[in-house]
Chains A and B, each alone.
Chain A
Amino acid sequence: MCIVVSFLRLLTRRWLQFAWLMLLLWPAQVSANLNAEQIEFFEKEIRPLFVSKCYSCHSAQLPAPMGGLRLDTAEGVVKGGDSGPLIVPGEPEKSLLIKAVSYKDLQLKMPPTGKLTDEEIQRLITWVKMGAPDPRNEVASATAPTSRIDFEKARTFWAFRKIQKPVVPVVEQNSWVSSPIDSFVLAQLQSKGLKPAPPADKHAWLRRVTFDLIGLPPTPREIEAYLADNSALAQDRVVDRLLASPHYGERWARHWLDLVRFAETNGHEFDNDKLDAWRYRDYVIRALNQDVPYDQFVKEHIAGDLLPQKRLSADGTCWESPLATGFLWFGEVLNSATDSVKSRADEVDNQIDVLTKAFLGLTGACSRCHDHKFDPIPTTDYYALAGFLHSTNVSEAILDSPPVANRIAEARTSIGGLNLRIERLMRGELLHQAGLVDAYLLAASEVLAKKPEERERAIFAMASKRGLAGALLSSWAARIEAAQKQPESLFYAYARVLEQIHKGESFETAWTQIRLETSKPAEVPAGGERRDVIFEEFESRGFPNWKAEGQAFGDGPVHRLPPNEPLRDYVGQGVANSFGVSNRMVGSLTSRKFKLPKLFVHVLMGGSREDLKGEKARLRFTVVADGHKSLHLFPKGESGLQWMTLRLTKEIGRQGYFEIVDRSTTGHIVVDQIVLSDSQEPPRTFRPPVAGIQPLVSQQGIQSLEELARTYRQFFQNTLQKNQGVSPIVATLSPTGRLEDLAANQLLPGGRSLSLQASHTAQSEVRKFAWLPDSGSRAGTSQKITLEQITQLQAMREQIERRIPESIFGMIGSDEEPHDVQVHIRGNHKNLGEVAPRRFLQVIAGDKQPPVIEGSGRLQLAEWMVHRENPLTPRVMVNRIWKHHFGQGIVRSVDNFGKTGEPPTHPELLDFLAQKFIDSGWSIKAMHRIMVLSSTYAMSSQADLKAEELDPENKWLHRMPMQRLEGESIRDAILAVSGRLDPKVLGPAIPPHISAYQDGRGKPESGPLDGNGRRSIYIQVRRNFLTPIFLAFDYPLPISAIGRRSVSTVPSQALMLMNNEFVVQQAEAWAHRSLEVETDPERGVRNMFLTAFGRPAQDQEVQETLEFLQAQAQRHAKLQPALSEVQLKERVWADVAHVLFNSAEFVYIR
Chain B
Amino acid sequence: MKRVNVFGRQSSILNLRSRIREYRLDTNLNHRINLSYPGISRREMLCRSANGFGGLALAAMLADKLDASATNPLAQRPPHYAAKAKSVIFLFMDGGPSQMDTFDPKPRLAKEAGQTIPFETPTTVFNISNKIFPSPFQFKKHGQSGADVSDLFPHVATCVDDLVIIRSMVADHSEHTAANYFMHSGSGFQGRPSMGAWVTYGLGSECDNLPGFVVLESGLIPPGGLDLFGSGFLPASYQGTLFRKGKSPIADLEPREKSSELQIAKLDLLRRLNQGVLEQFGSSRELEATIGNYELAFRMQAEVPDLLDLRGESEATRKLYGLDESETQEFGLQCLLARRLIERSVRFVELLPPARQGIDRWDQHGALENGHRINAKATDKPIAALLKDLKGRGLLESTLVVWGGEFGRTPTAQFPDGGYVKEIGRDHDPFGFTMWLAGGGVKAGTTFGSTDEYGYFAVENKVHVHDLHATILHLLGLDHTKLTYPFSGRNMRLTDVHGRVVKEILA
The answer to whether B227 and A900 touch across the interface, beta carbons within 8 angstroms, is no
- A1139 part of interface (Cβ distance < 8 Å): yes
Q: Which residues of A contact B225 (CB under 8 A)?
A: 267, 271, 1000-1002, 1024-1025
The answer to whether A1058 and B189 touch across the interface, beta carbons within 8 angstroms, is no
The answer to whether B123 and A338 touch across the interface, beta carbons within 8 angstroms, is yes
CB of A346, distance to nearest CB on chain B (Å): 7
Given the known inter-chain contacts A1059-B252, A1119-B259, A1143-B270, please indicate yes or no for A103 contacting B236, CB distance below 8 A. no
Given the known inter-chain contacts A338-B174, A896-B489, A1050-B293, please indicate yes or no for A115 contacting B460, CB distance below 8 A. yes
Interface centre among B71, B119, B289 (most CB of A within 10 A): B289
Q: Which residues of B contact A896 (CB under 8 A)?
A: 488-489
Q: Which residues of A contact B459 (CB under 8 A)?
A: 103, 114-115
A1050 and B277 alpha carbons, distance in the complex (Å):
21
A1147 and B286 alpha carbons, distance in the complex (Å):
11
- A1055 part of interface (Cβ distance < 8 Å): yes
The answer to whether B125 and A1108 touch across the interface, beta carbons within 8 angstroms, is no
Among A649, A1000, A1039, A1120, the residue within 8 A (CB) of B226 is: A1000
The answer to whether B265 and A334 touch across the interface, beta carbons within 8 angstroms, is no
Residue of B nearest to A654 (CB): B123
- B11 part of interface (Cβ distance < 8 Å): no
CB of B462, distance to nearest CB on chain A (Å): 6
Given the known inter-chain contacts A995-B251, A1028-B251, please indicate yes or no for A1046 contacting B236, CB distance below 8 A. yes
Q: Which residues of A contact B417 (CB under 8 A)?
A: 649
Among A271, A964, A999, the residue within 8 A (CB) of B217 is: A999
- A873 part of interface (Cβ distance < 8 Å): no
Interface string of B272-297 (1 = CB under 8 A from A): 11101100111110110111111011
A1053 and B252 alpha carbons, distance in the complex (Å):
10
- A363 part of interface (Cβ distance < 8 Å): yes
The answer to whether B256 and A1064 touch across the interface, beta carbons within 8 angstroms, is yes
Among A998, A1034, A1038, A1060, the residue within 8 A (CB) of B236 is: A1034
- B126 part of interface (Cβ distance < 8 Å): yes
Residue of A nearest to B491 (CB): A900
- A815 part of interface (Cβ distance < 8 Å): no
Given the known inter-chain contacts A373-B490, A1039-B190, A1059-B256, please indicate yes or no for A336 contacting B125, CB distance below 8 A. yes
Q: Which residues of B contact A1098 (CB under 8 A)?
A: 276, 280
A771 and B122 alpha carbons, distance in the complex (Å):
67
* A238-246, A479-487, A722-730, A941-949: which lies at the interface: A941-949
A352 and B343 alpha carbons, distance in the complex (Å):
47
- B107 part of interface (Cβ distance < 8 Å): no
CB of B259, distance to nearest CB on chain A (Å): 6
- A950 part of interface (Cβ distance < 8 Å): no
Q: Which residues of A contact B232 (CB under 8 A)?
A: 1037, 1039
Q: Which residues of B contact A995 (CB under 8 A)?
A: 251
Q: Which residues of B contact A998 (CB under 8 A)?
A: 226
Band of interface residues on B: 35 or more
The answer to whether A649 and B265 touch across the interface, beta carbons within 8 angstroms, is no
The answer to whether B490 and A1037 touch across the interface, beta carbons within 8 angstroms, is no
Interface string of A76-113 (1 = CB under 8 A from B): 00000000000000000000000000011010010011
Residue of A nearest to B221 (CB): A1000
Q: Which A residues from 136 to 152 make CB contacts under 8 A with B?
A: none
The answer to whether A269 and B489 touch across the interface, beta carbons within 8 angstroms, is no
Q: Which residues of A contact B283 (CB under 8 A)?
A: 943
Q: Which B residues from 216 to 272 make CB contacts under 8 A with A?
A: 217, 221, 223-227, 230, 232, 235-237, 241-242, 244, 250-256, 258-259, 261-263, 265-266, 269-270, 272
The answer to whether B255 and A1058 touch across the interface, beta carbons within 8 angstroms, is yes
* B175-183, B329-337, B389-397: which lies at the interface: B175-183
Given the known inter-chain contacts A366-B490, A1112-B265, A1143-B273, please indicate yes or no for A1024 contacting B226, CB distance below 8 A. yes
Given the known inter-chain contacts A114-B460, A649-B126, A1100-B276, please indicate yes or no for A268 contacting B224, CB distance below 8 A. yes
- A1138 part of interface (Cβ distance < 8 Å): yes
Q: Which residues of A contact B315 (CB under 8 A)?
A: none
A680 and B418 alpha carbons, distance in the complex (Å):
9
A518 and B486 alpha carbons, distance in the complex (Å):
73
The answer to whether A1051 and B297 touch across the interface, beta carbons within 8 angstroms, is yes
- B419 part of interface (Cβ distance < 8 Å): yes
The answer to whether A338 and B125 touch across the interface, beta carbons within 8 angstroms, is yes
Among B223, B254, B269, B291, the residue within 8 A (CB) of A1104 is: B269
A650 and B176 alpha carbons, distance in the complex (Å):
13
- B461 part of interface (Cβ distance < 8 Å): yes
A650 and B177 alpha carbons, distance in the complex (Å):
14
- B307 part of interface (Cβ distance < 8 Å): no
CB of B279, distance to nearest CB on chain A (Å): 10
CB of A1108, distance to nearest CB on chain B (Å): 5
Q: Which residues of B contact A1148 (CB under 8 A)?
A: 286-287, 290
- B305 part of interface (Cβ distance < 8 Å): no
- B4 part of interface (Cβ distance < 8 Å): yes
CB of B120, distance to nearest CB on chain A (Å): 7
CB of B176, distance to nearest CB on chain A (Å): 6
Given the known inter-chain contacts A1048-B73, A1115-B261, please indicate yes or no for A338 contacting B488, CB distance below 8 A. no
- A1101 part of interface (Cβ distance < 8 Å): yes
Among B5, B230, B270, B293, the residue within 8 A (CB) of A1051 is: B293
Given the known inter-chain contacts A353-B488, A1024-B225, A1108-B269, please indicate yes or no for A653 contacting B123, CB distance below 8 A. yes
Given the known inter-chain contacts A373-B490, A650-B125, A1051-B300, please indicate yes or no for A997 contacting B293, CB distance below 8 A. no
The answer to whether B262 and A1115 touch across the interface, beta carbons within 8 angstroms, is yes
The answer to whether B296 and A1054 touch across the interface, beta carbons within 8 angstroms, is yes
- A49 part of interface (Cβ distance < 8 Å): no
Among B176, B189, B420, the residue within 8 A (CB) of A332 is: B189
Q: Which B residues from 115 to 135 make CB contacts under 8 A with A?
A: 119-120, 122-127
- A756 part of interface (Cβ distance < 8 Å): no
The answer to whether B418 and A334 touch across the interface, beta carbons within 8 angstroms, is no
Among A106, A1001, A1055, the residue within 8 A (CB) of B252 is: A1055
CB of A356, distance to nearest CB on chain B (Å): 10
Q: Which A residues from 1003 to 1048 make CB contacts under 8 A with B?
A: 1023-1025, 1028, 1031-1032, 1034, 1037-1040, 1046-1048
The answer to whether B462 and A1054 touch across the interface, beta carbons within 8 angstroms, is no
Given the known inter-chain contacts A653-B127, A1104-B273, please indicate yes or no for A269 contacting B461, CB distance below 8 A. no
A497 and B310 alpha carbons, distance in the complex (Å):
75
Q: Which A residues from 916 to 953 make CB contacts under 8 A with B?
A: 941-943, 945, 948
The answer to whether B191 and A1037 touch across the interface, beta carbons within 8 angstroms, is yes
Q: Which A residues from 895 to 912 make CB contacts under 8 A with B?
A: 895-896, 898, 900-901
A1110 and B123 alpha carbons, distance in the complex (Å):
72
Q: Which residues of B contact A267 (CB under 8 A)?
A: 190, 225, 227
Q: Which residues of A contact B4 (CB under 8 A)?
A: 943, 945, 948
- A1144 part of interface (Cβ distance < 8 Å): yes
A1105 and B276 alpha carbons, distance in the complex (Å):
12
Can you list 6 A-B pairs with a CB-CB distance of less than 8 A?
A: A268-B223, A269-B223, A680-B418, A1101-B276, A1142-B294, A1143-B273
Known: A106-B120, A650-B125. 16 other contacts (CB 8 A): A103-B459, A267-B190, A338-B175, A375-B489, A962-B287, A1001-B223, A1024-B225, A1048-B235, A1052-B241, A1064-B256, A1098-B280, A1101-B273, A1112-B266, A1115-B261, A1138-B266, A1143-B270
Chain B residues proximal to chain A, CB less than 8 Å: 4-5, 71, 73, 119-120, 122-127, 173-178, 189-191, 211, 217, 221, 223-227, 230, 232, 235-237, 241-242, 244, 250-256, 258-259, 261-263, 265-266, 269-270, 272-274, 276-277, 280-284, 286-287, 289-294, 296-298, 300-301, 417-420, 457, 459-462, 486, 488-490
Chain A residues proximal to chain B, CB less than 8 Å: 103-104, 106, 109, 112-115, 267-269, 271, 332, 334-339, 346, 353, 357, 363, 365-366, 373-375, 599, 647, 649-650, 652-653, 680, 895-896, 898, 900-901, 941-943, 945, 948, 962, 964, 995-1002, 1023-1025, 1028, 1031-1032, 1034, 1037-1040, 1046-1056, 1058-1061, 1064, 1098, 1100-1101, 1104-1105, 1108, 1111-1112, 1115-1116, 1119-1120, 1135-1136, 1138-1140, 1142-1145, 1147-1148, 1150
Q: Which 5 A-B pairs have the closest CB atoms?
A: A363-B489, A1039-B191, A1054-B297, A997-B251, A1000-B225
